[in-house]
Amino acid sequence: MTNDEIINIASETGRLLLIGGAESFRTEDTVERIGNALGLPLTCYVTLTAVMVSEKNGSKAKVIKAKPGAFNLRTVDEINTLSRALTDKKISDVEFIAQLNQIKHHIIDYPSFLKIISAGLVSMAPMLVAKATFLEYVLMFVTGLLGYLAYYLTAKRSTTPYAPEFIGGFAIGIFAILGTLINSH
C-alpha cells in the first residue's frame, strides 16, 4: 500500500468520524493509530469542518472538508471498533478498507420522530440530579423536543452554515424562559 493510499484511508476514516459526531481528540487519535497500524506515522489535526492529515515528516498532506451532519454515534462506535481491530492486528488492511467502505455506504439513520422524542427524553436527564418536580420534567421534555424540532426543520430548509444550530439553541432558550415562567406561577 502506498503512502498516498494510507493517507487517503486515514483521512476518510477521520471524515466519517467527524460527521458522525466524534470528538476532535478521538478523531485525531484514531487517524494517527490507523496510520501507525498501516506502517506510516501520521499527524492529524481536526477542526469543526475539516480533517488534516500529513506524514510525520511533513512530505505529504491531505485536507478533507467535512460537512458536519447529524450525530450518528453508531457509526463512530463501528469505526472505533474497526480501528481497534486493525491496530490489534485482528484484521488485515484489506479487511479494514472493505469494512470501512461497508460502514460508509450503510450508515443507519433513525426515523425523525424517534430523534425528536429522544431529544425530549435526553433533555430531562439534567433534572435527575436536581430532583425536579413532575412539572419540571414535563417542561424540560417539551423544551428539548421543541428545540430539536426547530433545529430539524431549519436543517431541512436552510443551507446557511450553523443556522439550524442557532435556531435550535434560540428555541431552547425561549422555551426554557417560558418554562421558568410557567413553573414559577
Q: Is 164 helix (H, G, I), strand (E, B) or coil?
A: helix
CA 153 to chain centre: 19
Kindly report, residue by residue over 97-143, the tens digit of the pLDDT: 999 999 988 877 788 899 899 999 999 888 778 788 888 899 999 99
Distance between CA 31 and CA 174 in Å, rounded? Answer: 40
Distance between CA 34 and CA 18 in Å, rounded? Answer: 15
Distance between CA 66 and CA 160 in Å, rounded? Answer: 15
Q: How confident is the model at residue 70 (pLDDT cuts 50, 70, 90)?
A: low
Kindly report, residue by residue over 143-176, the tens digit of the pLDDT: 999 999 999 999 999 988 789 999 999 999 999 9
Q: Whole-model pTM?
A: 0.71
Cell 423536543 maps to which residue?
145
Q: Where are the alpha helices (DSSP H) in 24-133?
A: 24-37, 73-87, 93-105, 112-130
Q: Structural domain boundaries of the chain?
A: 3-105, 112-184
For the four alpha carbons of 170, 172, 173 and 175, in that order, the dihedral sign comes to positive
